[in-house]
Structure 1
């Protein structure tokens, strides 16, 4: 179960970066500080740990402070085969539904801290930060676009689905640079689940990617990802 505390004072949260869709909009970016203050005043800091899920009602929203959240259209490991929509990072705003009817499952990659505005505080938050009426539709559209891109990617070959998940994980701040590539704390089962690939097909896809030098697995919970390597012209 996620733990939460009411939040009084910024406690360093004012340095959380704005998401890209706010940074590229001059009007919204100018109000980022006000948005943070309103969320701090009316929201609560909540911590979710690996193996848990972040539970939210449809109207609620959150800001990722530290860690990472897998946003999928169903729980990883579910027989319906989850689709990885996004791997949320520090500064990302998020909602628990897309277009009001598609529920998003939010699962932590590691111990993750979020600032959540819960349903009971929404009225007071919106009264204080009226610009939210501009932000919310853009946030919804941004997540809907991420979902559309994920659906398009799910049509490809299984090795491409797995490669997409590996690439997303490698670009996340929780991955670490090393001489062997980007070090990622994840095992084959998690990657297979996030890619929506069945075990037998995933085994072949992993072997292909390993033989191609794109990824190396060390134990059950760690891998190094190098991506597709450019081959020199003869």
Structure 2
């Protein structure tokens, strides 16, 4: 089966986290960026992580954070992954947390930046586990609701798994998967009732739409194979 992983980003309560996990989300994003409407405190993070079932990954989201602070936060909360928004390759190894650098994409030069980043981390012996591609909105970092340029990303191979974010919703994620063929998808605002508050119906519908699109691709692959 063509598997597409699902990350529900910006959960802010244990109940949201548990519900998303029960719907089948593979990972949940915990936002440690203080300027975000989805920012959570250390106490909130502790309560959320304790609520997660054993096979659901907690991923921390960091913006221009010091590498040492990222490592410390990952260790404190047992994060399975760290998603970082920064222009520079890491100066340290985030292992055992998987590193997922995030990039805002708006043109072909953005793709070149991603390739250069991956090449630099490979040379340093610290390749990312995946890269996340998000939409570019001036002055904003993620969760904007703006759709990433799928036509630009179709066929793009950064050399590591690709996670697609940017304006995904239950209504359009199937089209996004068919266009880009990502390893995984990431959603925040597209499943919210208001900034920082998830809509249960949208969360359930999003996961179901991803699974349906993945099954469709798997069927196509069987026919073509």
Could you say whether these structures have the same fold, taking a TM-score greater than 0.5 normalized by the shorter chain as the test?
no
Could you tell me the TM-score, scaled by structure 1's length? 0.27
**Larger Rg: 1 or 2?**
1
